[in-house]
Chains A and B, each alone.
Chain A
C-alpha cells in the first residue's frame, strides 16, 4: 500500500528526515516510536503533504501513485488520513459543518454523489457510538475550547467519518487518561480491516497494549534505526531509548 524509499526532507534548510525506508501493506499496523525530536511528526507531515517541509530526496508510493506529486487534499481524497498531534481550532465553524464539507469534498474527489443531510446525520450517529463522542461536541466550533482528550477523540471520530485507507496517528495517546485511551484504541481497532492500514506514532508502549502492532520501528535522528515486532516495544519500555542511542553511536544499528 505504502512504499517509502530513502525519503529525505528538510525544513528551513535543516535536514530532519535523513533517508527513511518503510513498507506498509494493507491490513497491517505499524508503530513508530522514538525519542522527542527524532522526526516522527515530520514524517507524518511529509506524508500528508505539509508545505513547510521540503522533500529533498527519495520517493513515496501510495496505492501505485506517486504520493509526493499530489496536493494535500488530493492525498486525503486518495485515502490518507492524519490524526494531528496538535489538532487545530477553527472558530465559528461547527464540527458538523466541517465534517460534512470534508466528507463531500472527498466524495467529489472520488466522483461520488454528495451525501444529503439525512444520510450524513445517520452515518454520523453510527460513528459517534464507535468513539463514544458527545453530541454536544459536534455542535461546537471545531476543536475550539476542547480539552486535549476531546480533541484527540474528535480526530478519531473524523477518521471514522472519512474512512481512510491509511491512517497515521500522531501521538494520539498523549494527553489521554486511561479510559479515553481505551475508547480511542477501541475505535481504531473497530475501524481496522483487511483493506486498511495504520501507522501509529507514539513514544509510550502503553497505547500498544490496546492497539497491537504487527511491526514496531524506532525512529531516531531522522532514520529508522531498528525494526521488529511488538516485543521491541516491550524492550524499549524496559531499557529506555538510551540503549538505542548508544547502539547508534556504536554504529551497530544503521
Chain B
C-alpha cells in the first residue's frame, strides 16, 4: 500500500459535524405503533375525519405487508414497536411571527447554517424548517402569497387548503405503494406543501430543512408539490441528525405533480448521520419519491447528493404520462466506512415523445457498498420514447463495493434506450500529479471527486452547489483507501 493510499485512509475518519443534540422539551407519543397512536397523531394535528380514516386505512394495509428485502443492503431487523412515532418540540407560547420562535430552536438551525431570520437569509431562498415531527417555521410566506404561491407545512395545508390536500395526497404514491410508503401514510408527521398557480414562475428557491433531534424517534415526513400549467418551481431539501448509537428510521414520501408545460426541479442534499466508522448508529433512510409529468411538455428533474445515512434506499422516479414530457435524474451517492446505499431511479414512459436522462455517479470508500438500481420502462403507446443512462462508479481502495442493476423494459419498438456504465478507481497518478503542483492529498481527492461529479453538481441551484462540494469533500475525508 502506498503512502497516498494510507493518507487517504486516514482522511476518511473525519467526524460528522452536525451531530449535536438540542436540549429542548418535547411533546411525544409513547413508543410503539397501533391504531391509538395513529389517532393520537391525527388528533395532535387536529385533522379532519377523512384524513384520520385515510391514515387508519394505510395502517391496516401496512399490517398486511412484510418488509422488503430485495435491495442490496444488510441490516438487523427493525423493531417497529420500539420507535416513537411523534415528537414535537414544545412551543413555549403560541407563535404569531417568526420572531417568537423558541431561541433554542432558532439557535439549532443557526448552528446548521439555516437562519430563520428572513433578513439574514440568502435572499432568494425561502425555508421551511422541520424538527422531528413538526414544522417550526416557514420564511417568506407572505411574499410568496402575493403571487398565489402556497409554501407551508403540510399540517398547516391540511387546515388551510384541505381541498388541495384531499385531491393530491397519495395521488402519485398511493398508500398501498410499498411497505414504507404505507407506514408513512399511517404516521406521517409533517413536511412541506408547495402549490404554484398557473403561469407563475416561483421567484425564489424553496427549501425545507429536516432535522431529527429526539432520540428513538422516527421521522416520517411527506412533501407534496403541485405545479399548475406553465408554472416553474425549484425546491431543495436538506437534512441532518444528531450522532446516536442506535439506528433511527426515516421513511419519507415525496410526491410531485407537473401539469401542462410545468417544470419542477427537486434537489436533495442528504446528510443524515451516517453512523460511526464501525457502522454503529446512523439513519435508515428508506424513502419513496415519485413525480408525475401529468401534462404535455412538462418536466421533472431530480438532483440528489447523497452523503449521509447508514443505509439509503430510494429511487426518485418520474412517470412520463404527458406527451413530450421530460424526466431527469442526476445523482451523486457517496458511501464511506460501513455505509450502504441502494439508490437509482425509475423512468416510466407512457406518453409519446417522452424523454428521460439518468446520470448517476456512485463513489465508494472504506468498507461501504454502493448500488445503482434503475428501471427504464417504455409502455406500448410511448411512441419515440428516448432514454439515456450513464452510470459511473468510482472506487477508493479495495474494501468497498460498487454494483449496477439496470433494468430495461421496452414494449414499443420505436424507443431508443441507451445505457453506459463505467467503473474506475481514483488514480494514484492523479493524486501525485496534484501533489506535485502543491495540492495536498486531501484537497486533491476533493478536486478529483468534484470533477467526477461535475455534471450532477452543475444541476444544483447555485446557492447550494458550493455547499454540496464541501460536503463531498468532508464525507470523503480520511476515506480514500
Residues of A within 8 A of B (CB): 48-52, 71-73, 75-77, 81-82, 84, 87-93, 97-98, 101-103, 105-106, 109, 141-142, 158, 162
**Interface residue range, chain B:** 20 to 34
Pick the contact of B435: A72, A81, A87, A92 (CB < 8 A). Answer: A72
Distance, CA A73 to CA B444, complexed state (A): 10
CB of B432 within 8 A of chain A?
yes
Counting residue pairs across A and B whose Cβ atoms lie within 8 Å, the total is 84
Q: Are B2 and A105 in contact (CB under 8 A)?
A: no
Pick the contact of B452: A50, A82, A91 (CB < 8 A). Answer: A91
Given known A-B contacts A92-B452, A92-B455, A106-B438, A51 and B447 have beta carbons under 8 A apart: no
Pick the contact of A88: B3, B433, B443 (CB < 8 A). Answer: B433
Instruction: Please provide the chain B residues from 421 to 455 with a CB less than 8 Å away from any CB of chain A in the complex.
Output: 427-430, 432-441, 443, 447-448, 450-455
**Closest residue of chain A to B437, judged by CB?**
A102
Chain A residues within 8 Å of B216, by CB: none
CB of B414 within 8 A of chain A?
no
Hey, what's the 0/1 contact readout for B450-476 against A, CB within 8 Å counting as 1?
Answer: 111111000000000000000000000
CB of B4 within 8 A of chain A?
yes
Distance, CA A87 to CA B295, complexed state (A): 50
Chain A residues within 8 Å of B428, by CB: 51-52
A210 to chain B minimum Cβ distance, whole angstroms, is 24
Chain A residues within 8 Å of B447, by CB: 90, 93, 97-98, 101
Could you name 29 residue pairs across A and B whose Cβ atoms are closer than 8 Å? A49-B435, A51-B4, A51-B428, A72-B436, A73-B436, A75-B436, A76-B435, A77-B438, A84-B436, A88-B433, A89-B430, A90-B433, A90-B434, A90-B448, A91-B451, A92-B452, A92-B455, A93-B447, A93-B451, A101-B443, A102-B434, A102-B437, A102-B439, A105-B440, A106-B437, A106-B438, A109-B438, A142-B451, A158-B437
Distance, CA A117 to CA B427, complexed state (A): 29
Assuming A84-B436, A90-B447, what are 17 further A-B pairs, CB within 8 angstroms? Answer: A48-B436, A51-B3, A72-B432, A72-B436, A73-B441, A77-B438, A89-B430, A90-B433, A90-B434, A91-B452, A92-B454, A93-B448, A98-B437, A102-B434, A102-B437, A102-B438, A105-B440
**Closest residue of chain A to B433, judged by CB?**
A88
Chain B residues within 8 Å of A109, by CB: 438
Q: Which of A75, A84, A93: most chain B CB closer than 10 A?
A: A93
Instruction: Please provide the chain B residues from 1 to 43 with a CB less than 8 Å away from any CB of chain A in the complex.
Output: 2-4
Distance, CA A105 to CA B441, complexed state (A): 12
A13 to chain B minimum Cβ distance, whole angstroms, is 15
Closest 6 CB pairs of A and B: A92-B451, A93-B451, A72-B435, A106-B438, A51-B3, A76-B438
**Closest residue of chain A to B432, judged by CB?**
A50
Distance, CA A72 to CA B451, complexed state (A): 22
Chain B residues within 8 Å of A52, by CB: 2, 428
Q: Are A88 and B439 in contact (CB under 8 A)?
A: no
